[in-house]
Amino acid sequence: MKVLVSDNILSKGVEILRKAGLDVDVKTGLKPEELKSIIGEYHAIIIRSATKVTEDIINAAKNLKVVGRAGSGLDNVDRAAATKMGIVVMNTPGGNTITTAEHTIAMMFAIARKLSQANTSMGQGKWEKKKFMGVELFNKTLGVIGLGNIGGEVAKRAQGLGMNVIAYDPFLSDEKAKSLGIDKVGLSALFSQADFITIHAPLTAETKYLINSETIKTMKNGVYIINCARGGIINEKDLLDALESGKVAGVALDVFEKEPPESNPLVGHEKVVCTPHLGASTQEAQENVAIAVAEQIVEYLVHGTIRNAVNFPSIPADQVAVLRPYISLAEKLGSFTTQIFEGGITEVALEYRGEASGLNITPLTIAAIKGLLNPILLETVNFVNAPFIAKERGIEVKETKSSDSGDYQSLITIKVRSSKKEISVAGSLFSKKDPRIVKIDNFTVEIVPEGCMLFMYNNDRPGVIGNIGTLLGTNNINIARMHFGREKAGGRAISVVNIDTCATPQILDEIRRLPNILDVKEINL
């Protein structure tokens, strides 16, 4: 078996691969065409953030079995294309958790006490003691956006500094937040109450430009903002305007929308501390991820064991063919459900009926949980750690089986509950391989769960469908499929529209203003 290491990892990882009898080539700095020309001879590729494993590369990788990321972020891997080709994509979650959390705290200290600016001044031979008046962290309120692995570690350290920690995380139950000594708040409350705001969320359609001119207006005057997560969560132009006006007192950025940032006015700004994506850059973290990814590649290529895969659970090789379509269905059900549900999840109940009840349901449940958590955690949740993360967040998971599946050969139902409400979504396989969502609460539907979709509650009135189609057409958005369901004639209904191009927030607002539209959400599967 041949392994290509296309980005720099510590030599300990390469040694583990070679000791296992694998043929390893270390070729870093390859251009896309160079990688494409050689990838066909390799069974595994190990990357970090530099190599882009695109659909074009994957299509040329005729023998590739696994992509291993030394780190957690997978923005540079086309996971959908890899999954389609049967290629396992795995990362090393947790290897850089402490390192990134510590970097966040260091950045927070730096902007609170103007350390970088003072150091630069001293280097110029100046002694400007009065110019660099700082603020204490003690007794200040830290708002944490995203209380996953890294956000949780930041919160612990901030509590140790005597800070009051509040957090926004749609997947964190009130009970779990209370047990951590953290006040769970809405996003608007976090913006208005926090003295310091730190971001620990993935870049998704929901978090794109989460911090912008409008949300900044709701923040305290003199707020400090830290981003060691992903560029693009902050609108950099709006942030610059807020710095210039004095609304934002200081900013610490380890990530940028474009990296490296070229001619970015935030870099070098007197109120900004910047680092070149150093969150995971410690000797310990790099050693952890190098060893972890090498061991995972060995386990898979040599022993057939899948660990920390983001697109496949850990199951025996002889069960893969049978379980694969059910795993896909369960994950899509989970992801769809969480994107139409609002509130902190406290319980997930999974019901397997018909043929599905006779399967090994453990990987199916894991896939459903992963689907539930993935839209918000994205890079840190996988088929291995999904149950642990659910438990850590106070989510109780229940399973039941029944041989009776009613009108379907197999039926998987996922019921999600919070302290105030619940929702039920059921799915089945058509032709034993094609996933379909067939029921949402009391609505009978037949939804193809893929791509961008608009999910709408509406009144069952004439003209609703025409209005939606006209609005989308006006905005040059093509409709791929439309699905409808209603409780009764003239009552409440749901409409689900598969679209070729995802809608902008402005288009979603236009849809909400249409007659008889009660609510609309964009779902991305």
| Cα separation, 250 vs 281, whole angstroms | 23
Answer with the one of 449, 478, 493 that is the final residue of a domain: 449
Q: How many CB atoms neighbour CB 490 within 10 A?
A: 10
Per-residue pLDDT of the chain (525 residues; tens, 9 = 90+): 999 999 999 999 999 999 999 999 999 999 999 999 999 999 999 999 889 999 999 999 999 999 999 987 787 999 888 877 878 899 998 788 899 999 999 999 999 999 999 999 999 999 999 999 999 999 999 999 999 889 999 999 999 999 999 999 987 878 778 888 899 999 999 999 999 999 998 888 788 999 999 999 999 999 999 999 999 999 999 999 999 999 999 999 999 999 899 899 999 999 999 999 999 889 999 899 999 999 999 999 998 788 888 887 666 656 777 888 999 999 999 999 999 998 788 999 999 999 999 998 988 999 999 999 888 665 567 776 778 788 888 899 999 999 887 888 899 999 999 878 899 999 999 988 899 999 999 899 999 999 999 999 999 999 998 999 999 999 999 999 999 888 888 889 999 999 999 998 899 999 999 999 999 999 998
Q: What is the pLDDT of residue 464?
A: 92
For residues 442 and 454, membership in a common domain is answered with no
* pLDDT per residue as tens digits for the range 495-510: 999 999 999 889 999 9
Same domain (yes/no): 445, 457: no
Count of other CB atoms within 10 angstroms of residue 167: 25
- CA–CA distance from 348 to each of 417, 440, 448 (Å)? 6, 15, 23
**Domain region containing 510:** 450-525
Q: Do 363 and 508 fall into the same domain?
A: no
Instruction: Give me the active site residues, please.
Output: 230, 259, 277
Q: Kindly state whether residues 159 and 213 are assigned to the same domain.
A: yes
Strand order from edge to edge, sheet including 272-274: 183-184, 164-168, 141-145, 196-199, 223-227, 248-253, 272-274
Which of 221, 245, 274 delimits the end of a domain? 274
CA–CA gap between residue 169 and residue 149 (Å, rounded)? 12
CA separation for the pair 266, 243 (Å, rounded) = 9
Question: What pLDDT is stored for residue 171 in this prediction?
Answer: 78
Same domain, 43 and 141: no
Does 162 lie in the same domain as 186? yes
Residue 230 CA neighbour count, 13 Å, CB half: 23
Q: In the prediction, which pLDDT does 138 show?
A: 98
Domain boundary among 262, 291, 312: 312
Do both 322 and 437 map to the same domain?
yes
Distance of alpha carbon 445 from alpha carbon 498, whole angstroms: 14
CATH number (domain holding residue 485): 3.30.70.260
For residue 210 the two structure tokens come to 């989460």
Please check whether residues 162 and 268 belong to one and the same domain.
yes
Token output for 214: 């409008």
Same domain (yes/no): 107, 256: yes
For residues 406 and 349, what is the distance between their CA atoms, to the nearest angstrom?
19
Say if strands 410-417 and 396-402 run parallel, antiparallel, or are unpaired. unpaired
CATH number at 352 reads 3.30.1330.90
* Same domain, yes or no: 468 and 417: no
Contact 210, 145 (CB under 8 A): yes
- Looking at the fold, whether 86 and 138 belong to one and the same domain comes out as no
Neighbours of 443 (CB within 10 A): 18
In the chain, how many domains are there? 4
The order of strands in the sheet holding 452-459 is 479-486, 492-499, 452-459, 517-524
Same domain, 259 and 290: no
CA–CA gap between residue 473 and residue 511 (Å, rounded): 12
Domain at 190, CATH number: 3.40.50.720
